[in-house]
Structure 1
């Protein structure tokens, strides 16, 4: 049995959602996912408003059904014009056909305006084609507006690596900047060395990735290099770069592993975040909605705890500490102060049972996890997520990244207020390397198996545990 199956209950798992091609900008991929269903609904609303003057609850119901049937929209920016036309037409025939069939079977089709239905049958696909054409024209500008491009390197200046580089440079909407190549061969043995920049030997890769904050690494190496590839992957596990194989190879211990394509070439994801494209939009939207609701509900508790902390001991109410966030970037997280000290230096001692630094009020806060509640503000800021790997102090990160393989991979997602490790017995002090390894193992299982259902399951388990767990102090 796979290790993830031993840790995760089957009812908490769901198939990983389809993600966009790696050669496509993530924002554009998310936009395409909602564009087709959104245009379908808006075209209906326009017709209803023009003909009937208002949108009745019946038409709102049809809108919800149409959106659900059309979501997610297909990625068509890379397709030829004739393929786009056929894809939109077939997609609309599917959606409209199901809606008409449902109306006929239920007998409610006569409750709706025939004029609106007949006009919607041609107006919706025409609207989709027009909006798609506009998006195709605007795509390069939208990519540039998102800020600096993702920096990428290719390992292996061979024929396939050269083709990948040429296509990346020729595509205008990937948001990827190719920095160059790494290869151990001399320039006279390299394919197209006169056209491509050689950055160094393969042994220089890990250091370059860290120093230049590389986001994407494409491994274009032959299968005969398997032992060398394994050694290289071990070195890269101390970075937050996403790693992909360009050759069609099979590797084990994948994080969100799947086949995909970059500007038309097949690649295999080795280590990737689950929150790309529509999944990332869903995750962030759920954080904003749930985080806002939770903050409103707990606002009286926040005020009461703030007063208790202020009256119990001298010092600030809110403790700010540097942690590692998404992609290993430093962030500042908030907690209610539970100790007489506010350590945030190069050496931090974890709280232990009976720790003299913990105040009387702080002991209650830590026991019930009330000291973590200000982190819901971090969630709305975009620094954290409600569910994800718990952030550790920077000093602890630097310590454990040297001791635990794949430790830094947990930073491919935003840290969480709670996480899969915390509801599986790894809450509180990690006073041994084995405990920290167990926490990291759970974090990586979360990355492999993420779903919104799993997030809700973890939140539910967290609420149950905070009042009876003896692991935190």
Structure 2
């Protein structure tokens, strides 16, 4: 639930979908009849079906185009004989059918995952891998000609095209949501403090697809909940929220907290919302600690929430290291053409070395020399003491939007993060990772207290959640929170999403100075 990630920022919630309801029978009224779908819920289902139809058509076009073009290439360049021509038709048709069926079976177009978070992309990738795994088995058994071409060309090209298609539709969806369309009408209920917490997270993300139409507070006070410059009105008390949701066509209820000494509240509320709301969302601050490590498993009718304890070594970290080596090698080869131009600009602009090496603290407190393109005057360290009173950073960080020590070329390099390109060398030799917490100075580490040291449990990164979420505009507390969330909940998929978002930040810089 965030998007970026990805993750929905205020907390990965537990969704409780109200039971499906039936339809009237010949206009007869039956005592204790099943609840009927209300206009608000029908309206939500209408725009969901409309959006999912777009995804279905796009997926079908991409799959058919990819499979057909691959089959054409196989015929044109592989020299298949007439004896193999039946497979030229059979194999592409079977490939397309298998691919589309698996995409549907694995719920890659589930309404609950659209618009935010990495789940949609993960499911598309998993479905594609499973489909071509089945085709590979068929190839081994039946020795069909043409399957090899589909595996080599159609799978990677098609997967990339599918992901780009989903990303494009997501951008379209977010643009519509900013205008108030294709969004759920939500009521947030609970204690005033917890409701304010959820509203802040919803406002901060702004891409989750919820339009908060009111709140239901359990303290009985009529005054609204103030978040920033906006006031969210109280439309109901907690006990009557279901009937009010029906009146104002709210299709989502977000439970920020439950009433004390009422263990059956959620069950009763879900019953009351049948036919009115599509989902009941339970927000929990536990997710700030556990995030994607949370899983729900019923044991003899008792729903137990499992929180996996994070580990900081083993297989996943070896995969991360292999990924870092591969990406850093490609990056260093790619920037080798750009580096001489940057070096020449630095030399022309100011006297001094091209590279700047600074002592930083890495995993487990080990110090290393981080390499960057020099963006400041050579006397920057000596001038720091005179600028401390003008510090605009928070916590132990020193930041100035108009730092006089930064050179003219340095400002350009910093704006587009070009000064950080040599850090790929630090990644290659093992001091850093592509994605991770911000690499701190030794002076910053000495100012750490308590849980902040957890930032040093994994290697620091060239980029991270801190960079794609505001960089220098973040407060110290926000920066620490993002780093700790990453340390405990990182995944390779999340790394890929952060890298993609980093490219966007470099092209449209914000908070870089």
Please say whether Structure 1 and Structure 2 have the same fold, judged by a TM-score greater than 0.5: no
Q: What TM-score does the superposition give when structure 1 sets the normalisation length?
A: 0.43
For the pair shown, the structure with the greater C-alpha radius of gyration is 2
Q: What TM-score does the superposition give when structure 2 sets the normalisation length?
A: 0.40
